[in-house]
Amino acid sequence: MTTLAGKTALVTGGGRGIGRAIALRLGRDGARVGVHYGTGERAARETVAEIEAAGGQAFALRAELGSPDGAEILWAAFDARAGELDILVNNAGVLGDLARIEEVTPENFDRVFSVNTRAPFFVTRLGLERLRDGGRIVNVSSVLTRGYTQPSSITYAMSKGALDVLTATLAKQLGPRAITVNTVAPGVVDTDMHAGRLTGDTLTWVESASPLGRVGVPDDIAGAVAFLTSEDGRWVTGHWLEVSGGTLL
């Protein structure tokens, strides 16, 4: 893997779970990493501290991406600490209530879409003026958008499906600037998003869904993001990369 020295990255939701693993990996590969958080300040600052302890550079920045002006607040905080951007990872997301369509409330629907769809759209839109030519955008989606449908996850899956469209469209638009845009689509990953759920029969079922026989961990996803954001990933764009241990086989 080639180095990211001299590059600046921004990872939304970078203080916990998959986002934390991505931030740590990009920092280890040499990037200066902006670690965004919404409410988990302590976790974000711990992530920054871990990157710095390993010899890297990082900074924390706060914005509530579910709010109407969340993207503007995020970039104002970024501009105060950095200039141009090389790597944008739209990772922040919420699962929302597990509910079938007849159980979904308008409040839950709006909350999930405000964080999972509206926020990355406008974060990216405002970020394009800061993103250098040759930059990288990675959107974190889900295998739930293709072939692994779950009725109780309909709202979450729909919100992530919109990211898949964003990836394909922007890849075509930004190609002339040598900016690649890709999606990584995890399966079930052992993070606090699934706290209390991965036990007993549920854990056995999730493990059996992968030919590799285990649940994913955040570092599994971070490795895929590291490839796509590196020079080695320069000829991959508009791609939907399943990172689920073969769940869709």
Q: Which of 156, 162, 180, 224 is catalytic?
A: 156
**CA distance linking residue 186 with residue 42, whole number of Å:** 26
Residue 249 lies in a domain: no
Return left, alpha or beta for 88; rule: phi > 0 is left, psi -120 to 50 is alpha, else beta: beta
For the chain, residues with pLDDT lower than 70 are: 1-2, 194-198
Question: Taking the alpha carbons of 156, 145, 26, 189 in that order, is the dihedral positive or negative?
Answer: positive
CATH number at residue 143: 3.40.50.720
| Residue 23 belongs to a domain | yes
Predicted local distance difference test score (pLDDT) of residue 249? 87
* Domain annotation covers residue 248: no
Q: Does any domain span residue 1?
A: no
- The position carrying tokens 């958008």 is 145
Within 10 Å of residue 99's Cβ, how many Cβ atoms? Answer: 17
Domain presence at residue 142: yes
How many Cβ atoms are within 10 Å of 32's Cβ, its own excluded?
Answer: 22
* Residue 204, Cβ density class (10 Å: 0-12 exposed, 13-18 middle, ≥19 buried): exposed
Which domain covers residue 41, as residue numbers? 8-243
**Whole-number Å distance between alpha carbons of 3 and 123:** 26
State how far the alpha carbon of 71 is from the alpha carbons of 75, 133, 205, in Å.
Answer: 6, 21, 38
pLDDT at 67: 95
| Selection from 30, 29, 35, 27 nearest residue 10 by Cα | 35
To the query of whether residue 148 is one of the catalytic residues in this protein, the response is no
Strand, coil or helix: 21: helix
Q: How many domains does the chain have?
A: 1
Amino acid at 145: T
Residue 111 lies in a domain: yes
Q: Pull the structure tokens for residue 86.
A: 């090389």
Which helix (H) or strand (E) element contains residue 164? helix 154-174
246: exposed, middle or buried (Cβ count in 10 Å: 0-12, 13-18, 19+): exposed
Residue 222 inside a domain? The answer is yes
Residue 140 maps to a domain: yes
Sort 197 into a burial class: Cβ within 10 Å, 0-12 / 13-18 / 19+.
middle
